[in-house]
Amino acid sequence: MGIQPRQCDSFNPYDPEVYEDPYPSYAWLRDEDPVHHNEELDIWVLSRHADVAAGLRDHTRFSNSYGVLIEPSTWGPDAYKQLSFVAMDPPRHTHVRGLVSRGFTPRRVAALEPQIRQIAREHINTALEQDDLDLVTDIASKVPMDVISELAGVPAADRKRIRRLGNLCAHRPPGARDIPAESLAAIHSLIGYYMELIAERRRAPRDDLVSALTAVAAEDHEFGDEDIAAFLTLLVGAGNETTQNLLGNAWYWAWRNPGQRAAAFDGNISGWIEETLRYDCVAQYMARRLVEDTVMHGVTVPAGACMMLLIGSANRDPRVFPDTDRYDLSRDTSAMVAFSSGPHYCLGAALARLEARVVLEEFVAHVADYDIDPGALRRLYGANTRGFTALPAVAKAR
């Protein structure tokens, strides 16, 4: 049986009920108001899979030029300064993404697996030795930041600081409708740190991502140090946030569904990752700026509108995913849009999947079973992000 739709005369992503469980509201939007307008926030909301997927692919009408978040501090023509090529349209987007891809290659990402496995084992073993185990703070929040630092070439002595700044970038206090001052300060601190690291690598290159990107920049004068620093800051924010919350959500939903947990522990790690991405994806929406007046489902949306493409709703659309509200590791998830679609498909998707696979493989290898304390878990607050800041658990080691 599916969830019961929750009527939302004015869908508000900051509503505490939506923050706690957005899926009943999504169900109502899909069925009753597929082109929804929140007049207070002045956002337009698309919720059906077909509309969301089409919007993600159509960069000519659904522009990234104002960014991908509805928070006022990031929404605007200067969004690219924080979000790099994510806040650009082709041809600029194509050019910058192509340059970044020359350093952030599939080969470089795949070669990280031994280091990821070592990092995961160290954090899992340390966590299992503690009396109070927290799956998020002890494992999920540490591994991806250490991996990104390993990839970038951040010295070991600086990694704790970078991890702290990365977590601050994603922090949103309950009720916040914009990026808080401490998060903006953390973003600027990260940019400053990477600018120093870039200058150092120019003097003495190494076999790391920063050195590779400085070499690319030396060949293309339109791609400067500020562009490299913006990309690295994006990698910290999006990369850390995605993997950390994917892991937390995977542990939580497998715990809530013992039969599926058994399948995961029996070896279906890939299904565990992919179904979690569909069922409770980390990034719940992507924002776009509408370039021209557009009629959708009989509703005219004006040019310049802030469009909220509800990825989380699209991935639960029963028109595409039968028995959509069941967490099922064996289902076909190929149509999901958890990592966007089209020209803006997430460049870090392969890294996020690799990190999650290795961590969950190592977790299953070291843990026979686990139990989460439902009274002590804490959700991450944010209109866009689904995850946890705390997931206290008791684990039975093998």
Q: Give residue 388's pLDDT.
A: 94
Domain-located, residue 6: no
- Which distant-in-sequence residues (6+ apart) come within 8 Å of 64 by Cβ? 86, 87, 88, 89, 93, 288, 289, 344
Domain-located, residue 159: yes
Whole-structure pTM value: 0.94
Q: Give residue 2's pLDDT.
A: 73
CATH classification of the domain holding 150? 1.10.630.10
- Residue 178, CA distances (Å) to 39, 224, 388 in order: 18, 29, 19
Domain-located, residue 393: yes
Tokens standing for residue 154: 């951040």
What is the spatial distance between Cα 352 and Cα 274, in angstroms, rounded to a whole number? Answer: 11
DSSP for 243-280 reads HHHHHHHHHHHHHH-HHHHHHHHTT-HHHHHHHHHHHT
Q: What residues in the chain have per-residue pLDDT under 70?
A: 1
Q: Give residue 306's pLDDT.
A: 98
DSSP H helical ranges for the chain: 16-20, 23-32, 49-57, 80-83, 92-103, 106-110, 113-128, 135, 143-152, 159-170, 181-203, 209-219, 225-234, 240-256, 258-265, 269-279, 311-314, 349-366
Domain-located, residue 9: no
State the pairing for strand pair 306-310/43-46.
parallel
Q: Give residue 82's pLDDT.
A: 79
Q: Which domain holds residue 377?
A: 16-397
Contact 254, 25 (CB under 8 A): no
Query: Position 89: which residue type?
Result: D
Domains held by the chain: number: 1
Domain-located, residue 3: no
Domain-located, residue 42: yes
Q: Give residue 1's pLDDT.
A: 53
Query: Position 152: which residue type?
Result: A
Residues 245-285: tens digit of each pLDDT: 999 999 999 999 999 999 999 999 999 999 999 999 999 99
